[in-house]
Amino acid sequence: MDHFLEEIVIRRKRALTDLLYYLSNGIMVLSALIGMWMLTNLLSNFSLMALVITLVFGGGAVLLYLYRDRLRTEYEYTFTNGELDFAQVFNNQKRKNLGTMRVKNVEAFGVVDSNQFRKLINMPGLVRKNWFLNRDADLYYFYYQKESARNVVVFEPSQEMVTTIKKYLPHGVFQG
């Protein structure tokens, strides 16, 4: 029997991020208009100050265009027969694959609020990957070693996904 489970994690308190998103759209349009206006002034009479202002406003508009979607970030966890895929989705348009993990290769799995996690997180040379959005959620972690690098992935699965993951874990790996 195949086990397939997919979850999308969204930010629960979105009022501030939505406000910032709409504000960045307005500032982007305003910066682009000021940059275009300064460009037309720059073409009629050249000055170094006008060039700097044009580049600042034009560059700001371009940077806001490229990075405003990161304000609306979601994480997607897909569990398929012992493999867990992680993806980051920006504004329901762009998708970034974060990686795939075989659950049977994990050395430790448990709740973030445990003593085992506190011991792990203080290890030297540990690479921590935070793939969650809500700090007040029930967070879990995976600890694994890959190419002699120690890694911890912190994420926020549902209770159903935790139960499904436990079925595929080696004996003694769950530290609850």
- Structure confidence by residue, pLDDT tens digits, 43-80: 888 889 989 999 999 999 999 999 999 999 999 999 99
Report the pLDDT value the prediction gives residue 97, as an integer from 0 to 100. Answer: 96
Is residue 43 helix, strand or coil?
Answer: helix
Q: What is the pLDDT of residues 91-136, one digit of tens each?
A: 999 999 999 999 998 999 999 998 889 888 888 889 999 999 998 8
Report the pLDDT value the prediction gives residue 1, as an integer from 0 to 100. Answer: 62
> Does 40 score more than 70 pLDDT?
yes
Alpha carbon 64 to chain centroid distance?
18
The pTM for the full model equals 0.82
- Residue 52: how many other CB atoms lie within 10 Å: 11
DSSP 143: E
Is residue 151 helix, strand or coil?
Answer: strand
Residue ranges covered by each domain of the chain = 15-70, 94-171
Distance CA 113, CA 90 (A): 28
Q: What Rg, from alpha-carbon coordinates, does the chain have?
A: 22
